[in-house]
A and B are shown apart, each in its own frame.
Chain A
């Protein structure tokens, strides 16, 4: 089982990111679950979302305390206590930005900048989702494209489809493949 925790702020779409990851996995025949840690609707407030992916059926619904992967949609959140808590030994961090802060080992992708360029809006979620799939080799990018097609339409969809290609190209494919095998999905 692979457990992913996604940290972001209201308005950055990290809940949608979680739903997209799970949707893509389910479309590829995996068992998956995605849900937010909930709070009042508010732009800018920290939001956490969880994703579980597995090849076997599972039924637990507790919050993820020991993620295999962390996706950080807002680099400023790295300074919030608790954001990196519980990351498993050998776990990996994907963050929005150009450079991880000192003492943090992470793959950085300028997802917000890419989103601004391709979508005209600073919503880093789809770019980070594409990078996650590319880094882990977990699922083909077409699975993410399929999930996007189910959720978006028209020019927004087209722009997102181009964005995910760009994001995928910006990270090292399969860099985290070994970590996936280590977590025994």
Chain B
């Protein structure tokens, strides 16, 4: 049944429904409501997890690492500065191959300080060895969170569920919460074969010399590549159980005859989808939501781009001095096609700048015959000082 729920509240309920036993978190806008809802459920006796209110995000990640290693399903949530502060631990968790789920309430990075939404934070952690899944609406946030536990525990790889901060976390909309029985059938009890156990004592986290480091990293790389198969399979199973698919590795919409496509990650997809319907000039158009950024679904992307002459990448981050992050990876993957589309890359909505409905028609109308250098599409040059630096 559709319920009116704030995104954060729905995610909190999903975490509790997934029977997370240990939740550790440190407050950071805009993740706060997720943890507050869990705390409220615990205070009212509606949830029985251990909620550890830690002294920093570095500790939040460390607490859930310890909990998962000791045999409990564990969860944390953070954003922006907090994600960076736990950076060292994220690499450690992934390298130790510990199953964990974390919500990242995507938020811009200081400096300049910002509490508003972009995806610079999760992009900064793309090489930590976690699965990264992006949600385009709050229903996907709920469904993907539950799927994330299944993916993590199947592959023994941690999963980051990226949910645009404020835009999704603080938005109230109609959401279907899955029944507890459905979740219980979908998520078997946590069983981590390598958990710390006095009956079967094992040693973890040791120094590894050059003789074996590369092989361990290869296994980690392969596990993430294996996710390319696991992620769509888990989504199909979830769709069979609930009637709702969450977008697999990526989701395509629009006109089959289109020669132009637009690809993005996260909540601005919805605005682009509506713009395509509202503005005739925006059709025919293919829209691609890249749900899975890590592992990078190169083959699926090549299939999705088949027949396109141009693909526009709209991303919510920038690598200063280089340009697009998603754009570069998309371009590299599509270069392997016999006739790769032109890839036009833009950053948009940095630091929480609103992405209006009419951005899409303006964008499409302004595309040059050949892709120019990566740029911030919605830059306001009037705000730059003279001389531009």
Our count of residue pairs bridging A and B at CB distance below 8 angstroms stands at: 73
CA distance A39 to B274 in the complex (A): 27
Contacts of B273 in A (CB 8 A): 59-60
| Chain B proximity mask over A140-176: 1 for CB below 8 Å, otherwise 0 | 0000000100100000000000000000000000000
Asked whether, in the complex, the Cβ of A61 is within 8 Å of the Cβ of B271, the reply is: yes
Asked whether, in the complex, the Cβ of A61 is within 8 Å of the Cβ of B170, the reply is: no
A34 within 8 Å of B (CB atoms): yes
Asked whether, in the complex, the Cβ of A23 is within 8 Å of the Cβ of B116, the reply is: no
Asked whether, in the complex, the Cβ of A32 is within 8 Å of the Cβ of B174, the reply is: yes
B143 within 8 Å of A (CB atoms): no
Contacts of B267 in A (CB 8 A): 61
Interface size class of B (residues with CB under 8 A): 20 to 34
Asked whether, in the complex, the Cβ of B270 is within 8 Å of the Cβ of A59, the reply is: yes
Contacts of B136 in A (CB 8 A): 59
Contacts of B3 in A (CB 8 A): 26
B115 within 8 Å of A (CB atoms): yes
CA distance A61 to B167 in the complex (A): 7
CA distance A74 to B356 in the complex (A): 27
Contacts of A27 in B (CB 8 A): 4
CA distance A114 to B273 in the complex (A): 42
Asked whether, in the complex, the Cβ of A65 is within 8 Å of the Cβ of B170, the reply is: no
Contacts of B166 in A (CB 8 A): 35-36, 38
Which of the residues A40, A61, A63 comes within 8 Å of B270, measured between beta carbons?
A61
Nearest A residue to B273 via CB reads A59
Asked whether, in the complex, the Cβ of A60 is within 8 Å of the Cβ of B275, the reply is: yes
Which of the residues B2, B170, B354, B356 comes within 8 Å of A36, measured between beta carbons?
B170
Nearest A residue to B352 via CB reads A38
Contacts of B168 in A (CB 8 A): 61
CA distance A59 to B172 in the complex (A): 13
Asked whether, in the complex, the Cβ of B173 is within 8 Å of the Cβ of A33, the reply is: yes
Secondary structure dominating the interface of A: mixed
| Chain B proximity mask over A28-63: 1 for CB below 8 Å, otherwise 0 | 000111111011100000000000000000111111
A133 within 8 Å of B (CB atoms): no
Contacts of A34 in B (CB 8 A): 171-173
Asked whether, in the complex, the Cβ of B354 is within 8 Å of the Cβ of A63, the reply is: yes
Which of the residues B2, B171, B271, B357 comes within 8 Å of A26, measured between beta carbons?
B2
Asked whether, in the complex, the Cβ of B172 is within 8 Å of the Cβ of A22, the reply is: yes
Q: Can you add 6 more A-B contacts, CB < 8 Å, to A34-B173, A59-B271, A62-B357?
A: A19-B6, A26-B4, A36-B166, A38-B352, A40-B115, A59-B270
Chain B contacts to A: CB under 8 angstroms: 2-4, 6, 29-30, 115-116, 136-137, 166-168, 170-174, 267-271, 273-275, 352, 354-357
Chain A contacts to B: CB under 8 angstroms: 18-19, 22-23, 26-27, 31-36, 38-40, 58-63, 65, 147, 150
Closest 5 CB pairs of A and B: A59-B270, A23-B4, A35-B171, A60-B274, A26-B4
